[in-house]
């Protein structure tokens, strides 16, 4: 069969091993480009193309010749290769996990597969947030099917990928990190030219385009109890796309294709252990010697906590494709206390006169930075009073309410669940109601007190109170694009709160609608219909 299109990277892969290694890429100077940017948004592409055009012409000739030979052997279109070329390893795993009754157990099993053979319990006890760890498997196909360059190319051709939103083009040459994003949509013609010119490609939200990545992350978020995100990085041979830096997330680097040379460094100071924010780019002289230096090959895994400086570069003989799975951003005790302490102080000032009593009339004369070196007994008394009030503040801390605030944020961050075929058939998303032959069919399927239901996922819904009303927050209507939608919630009637708690705590068991602790059968059915229509519950079998 004749190929409709072959990307620059697909051509690169056909290069036989006896061809000489690619020439050293010239540094991407941008001084002249900036002047031309106002006239032509694509100047970065054109400049790099001009630098490499003569050399690339020769290479392309060889590549096309080799590609035609490979094409006749494979007899497969590139579209077919994108769909079928990834193998079935991850798909089979996800299909098996779909048969696991509990989403929490599903998440636990998937995480164990991710870090295998390290036991999850020992990982969280000994490694999580503490130190990097390396898994070398010598099994190139271990993660096969999670993501691929073929999938990367399909997404560029078929999806609306925008520079700076979904895709970054980067380089790190001679100690200088640059981003080369033109405006607008990232199309294969331009993107693969950037790649051929020595630029790295970072896809920022692959879960928005890849159903497999979406499925994996939507499961793992229940394991982490916080948002699971991902970036995909494609790097040409002999190049580096990013400067040394540290991140504010726990990072699982999953090597999918090729290989990459990694160096990991300890946090430079105690202040940079488990940092709140990611760092700026470092110079090589700032970071010392690596504590871990390794070449990741397909099927390998590298984990490092937030705050550990890292950099990765490609060896001259191979490209690299990896996906970084991340979690635990802004999910510390301090982040919880940022919600808890202001609320506690507000309550304390309402309920305790000691917090409303006035400050000493002369406190400005002995407190503050300008007075900090004074040996004044009034300062000792002032600090003693502050300490007393701080200790008392804990008695007013609405801990559960603050946790619910964190939970609301988490549910807003969450990906929606990707339904198994069985879940689809028994939920509102798979309802058979349709227009056919000039009429509406299968409308108004009835939920009765005998209908058996359960919530769709252990963590897909949560009751939260703002002090005046109780709302149910849920994830099933979330977007695959981060915070594209507002948080999803609706008010739960007072007479339905017990039934909602009952449903949540009954998971993963199916319970009959008639067993809901409501005042009447009508109330039970009304609540079940509401939850079914919102996609929060599904039935034991199709309605």
**DSSP one-letter string for 101-132:** S-HHHHHHHHHHHHHTTS-HHHHHHHTTTT--
Q: Which of 261, 263, 264 is CA-nearest to residue 315?
A: 261
- Please indicate, yes or no, whether residues 160 and 283 belong to a single structural domain of this protein: yes
Buried b (16+ CB within 10 A) or exposed e, 270-293: eeeebbeeebeebeeeebeebebe
pLDDT value at 288 more than 70: yes
Structural domain contains residue 47: no
Please provide residue 181's backbone torsions phi and psi, each rounded to the nearest 5 degrees: -80, 115
Q: How confident is the model at residue 306, as a pLDDT?
A: 98
Structural domain contains residue 289: yes
> Of the residues 298, 327, 356, which one is the last residue of a structural domain?
327
Q: Is 207:415 a contact under the CB 8 Å cutoff?
A: yes
pLDDT value at 13 more than 90: no
Range of the domain at 461: 401-539
Q: Is 284:226 a contact under the CB 8 Å cutoff?
A: no
**Considering its fold, how many domains does the chain have in total?**
3
pLDDT value at 297 more than 70: yes
Domain containing residue 390: CATH number: 1.10.10.1500
pLDDT value at 3 more than 90: no
> Of the residues 327, 358, 382, which one is the last residue of a structural domain?
327
Buried b (16+ CB within 10 A) or exposed e, 87-119: eeebeebbeebbebeebbebbbbbbbebbeebe
Q: Is 333:277 a contact under the CB 8 Å cutoff?
A: no
Burial-class residue 504 by CB neighbours within 10 Å (0-12, 13-18, 19+): middle
Q: Is 87:78 a contact under the CB 8 Å cutoff?
A: no
Question: Which tens digits make up the pLDDT trace of 372-400?
Answer: 999 999 999 999 999 999 999 999 999 99
Q: How many percent of the chain have pLDDT more than 70?
A: 84
Structural domain contains residue 390: yes
d(CA 216, CA 240): 28
- Please indicate, yes or no, whether residues 176 and 296 belong to a single structural domain of this protein: yes
- Please indicate, yes or no, whether residues 342 and 445 belong to a single structural domain of this protein: no
Q: Which of 265, 317, 314 is CA-nearest to residue 18?
A: 317
Band of the pLDDT at 79, cuts 50, 70, 90?
A: very low
Question: Which tens digits make up the pLDDT trace of 97-133?
Answer: 999 999 999 999 999 999 999 999 999 999 999 999 9
Q: Is 250:323 a contact under the CB 8 Å cutoff?
A: no
Structural domain contains residue 527: yes
Structural domain contains residue 29: no
Band of the pLDDT at 432, cuts 50, 70, 90?
A: confident
Domain containing residue 107: CATH number: 2.60.120.650
- Please indicate, yes or no, whether residues 96 and 147 belong to a single structural domain of this protein: yes
- Please indicate, yes or no, whether residues 295 and 232 belong to a single structural domain of this protein: yes
Band of the pLDDT at 10, cuts 50, 70, 90?
A: very low
Q: Is 3:68 a contact under the CB 8 Å cutoff?
A: no
Structural domain contains residue 196: yes
pLDDT value at 5 more than 90: no
Band of the pLDDT at 414, cuts 50, 70, 90?
A: very high
Bridging pattern class, strands 292-297 and 250-265: antiparallel
- Please indicate, yes or no, whether residues 102 and 238 belong to a single structural domain of this protein: yes
Q: Is 169 helix (H, G, I), strand (E, B) or coil?
A: strand
Rounded mean pLDDT of the chain?
A: 87
Question: Which tens digits make up the pLDDT trace of 445-503?
Answer: 689 999 999 999 999 999 999 888 999 999 999 999 999 999 999 999 999 999 999 99
Q: How confident is the model at residue 88, as a pLDDT?
A: 60
**Other CB atoms within 10 Å distance of the CB of residue 263:** 18
Query: Distances in Å between the alpha carbon of 351 and those of 157, 347, 386, 389, 465?
Result: 62, 6, 18, 13, 20
Q: Is the peptide bond before 508 cis (omega within 30 degrees of 0)?
A: yes
Q: How confident is the model at residue 467, as a pLDDT?
A: 81
Q: How confident is the model at residue 81, as a pLDDT?
A: 34
Is the model's pTM score more than 0.85?
A: no
Structural domain contains residue 77: no
pLDDT value at 56 more than 80: no
Helix, strand and coil percent figures for the chain, each rounded to 5: 40, 20, 40
3-state secondary structure 463-501: EEECCCCEEEEECCCCCCCCCCCCCCEEEECHHHHHHHH
Maximal CA-CA distance, the chain: 91
Least confident of 80-94, 135-149, 324-338: 80-94
Q: For residue 260, list its beta bridge partners.
A: 296
pLDDT value at 270 more than 60: yes
- Please indicate, yes or no, whether residues 221 and 366 belong to a single structural domain of this protein: no
- Please indicate, yes or no, whether residues 416 and 395 belong to a single structural domain of this protein: no
- Please indicate, yes or no, whether residues 495 and 421 belong to a single structural domain of this protein: yes
Please provide residue 254's backbone torsions phi and psi, each rounded to the nearest 5 degrees: -105, 110
d(CA 234, CA 253): 13
Q: How confident is the model at residue 12, as a pLDDT?
A: 32
H helical segments located in 320-472: 333-351, 377-393, 399-413, 421-425
Domain containing residue 534: CATH number: 3.90.930.40
d(CA 167, CA 296): 23
- Please indicate, yes or no, whether residues 391 and 407 belong to a single structural domain of this protein: no
Q: Quick one: average pLDDT of 218-238?
A: 97
**Other CB atoms within 10 Å distance of the CB of residue 50:** 10
- Please indicate, yes or no, whether residues 441 and 347 belong to a single structural domain of this protein: no
Band of the pLDDT at 46, cuts 50, 70, 90?
A: low
Q: Is 218:309 a contact under the CB 8 Å cutoff?
A: no
> Of the residues 399, 429, 445, which one is the last residue of a structural domain?
399
Structural domain contains residue 455: yes
Question: Which tens digits make up the pLDDT trace of 354-371?
Answer: 999 999 999 999 999 999
- Please indicate, yes or no, whether residues 486 and 517 belong to a single structural domain of this protein: yes
Q: Is 455:504 a contact under the CB 8 Å cutoff?
A: yes
């Amino acid at each position: 069969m004749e190929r409709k299109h072959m990307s620059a990277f697909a051509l690169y892969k056909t290069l036989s091993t006896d061809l000489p290694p690619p020439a050293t890429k010239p540094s991407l100077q941008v001084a002249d480009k900036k002047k031309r940017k106002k006239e032509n948004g694509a100047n970065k592409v054109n400049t790099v193309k001009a630098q490499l055009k003569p050399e690339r012409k020769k290479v392309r000739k060889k590549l096309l010749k080799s590609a035609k030979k490979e094409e006749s052997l494979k007899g497969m279109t590139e579209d077919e290769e994108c769909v079928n070329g990834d193998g079935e390893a991850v798909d089979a795993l996800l299909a098996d996990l779909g048969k696991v009754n509990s989403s929490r157990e599903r998440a636990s099993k998937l995480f164990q597969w991710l870090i295998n053979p390290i036991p999850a319990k020992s990982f969280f006890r000994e490694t999580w947030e503490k130190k990097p760890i390396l898994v070398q498997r010598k099994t190139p196909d271990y993660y096969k099917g999670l993501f691929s360059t073929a999938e990367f190319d399909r997404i560029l051709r078929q999806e609306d990928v925008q520079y700076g939103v979904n895709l970054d083009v980067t380089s790190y040459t001679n100690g200088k990190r640059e981003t080369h994003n033109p405006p607008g949509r990232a199309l294969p013609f331009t993107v693969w030219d950037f790649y051929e010119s020595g630029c790295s490609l970072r896809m920022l939200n692959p879960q928005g385009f890849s159903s497999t990545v979406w499925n994996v992350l939507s499961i793992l978020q229940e394991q982490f109890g916080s948002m699971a995100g991902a970036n995909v990085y494609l790097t040409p041979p002999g190049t580096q796309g990013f400067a040394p830096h540290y991140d504010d997330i726990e990072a699982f680097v999953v090597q999918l294709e090729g290989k990459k040379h990694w160096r990991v460094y300890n946090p430079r100071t105690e202040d940079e252990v488990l940092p709140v924010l990611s760092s700026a780019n470092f110079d090589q002289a700032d970071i010392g010697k690596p504590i871990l230096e390794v070449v990741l090959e397909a099927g390998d895994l590298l984990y490092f906590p937030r705050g550990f400086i890292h950099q990765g570069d490609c060896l001259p003989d191979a490209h690299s494709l990896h996906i970084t799975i991340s979690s635990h951003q802004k999910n510390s005790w301090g982040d919880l206390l940022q919600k808890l302490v202001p609320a506690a102080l507000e309550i304390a000032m309402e309920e305790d006169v000691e917090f409303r009593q006035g400050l000493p009339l002369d406190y400005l004369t002995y407190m503050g930075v300008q007075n900090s070196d004074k040996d004044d007994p009034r300062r000792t008394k002032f600090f003693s009073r502050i300490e007393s009030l701080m200790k008392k503040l804990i008695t007013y801390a609405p801990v559960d309410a603050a946790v619910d605030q964190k939970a609301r944020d988490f549910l807003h961050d969450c990906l929606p669940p990707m339904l198994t075929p069985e879940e689809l058939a028994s939920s509102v998303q798979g309802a058979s109601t349709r227009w056919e032959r000039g009429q509406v069919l299968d409308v108004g399927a009835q939920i009765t007190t005998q209908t058996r239901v359960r919530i769709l996922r252990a963590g897909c819904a949560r009751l939260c109170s703002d002090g005046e009303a109780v709302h149910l927050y849920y994830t099933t209507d979330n977007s695959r694009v981060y915070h594209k939608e507002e948080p999803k919630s609706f008010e739960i009637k007072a007479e339905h709160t017990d039934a909602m708690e009952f449903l949540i705590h009954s998971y993963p068991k199916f319970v009959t609608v008639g067993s809901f602790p409501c005042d009447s059968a009508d109330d039970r059915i009304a609540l079940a219909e509401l939850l079914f229509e919102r996609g929060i519950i599904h039935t034991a079998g199709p309605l």
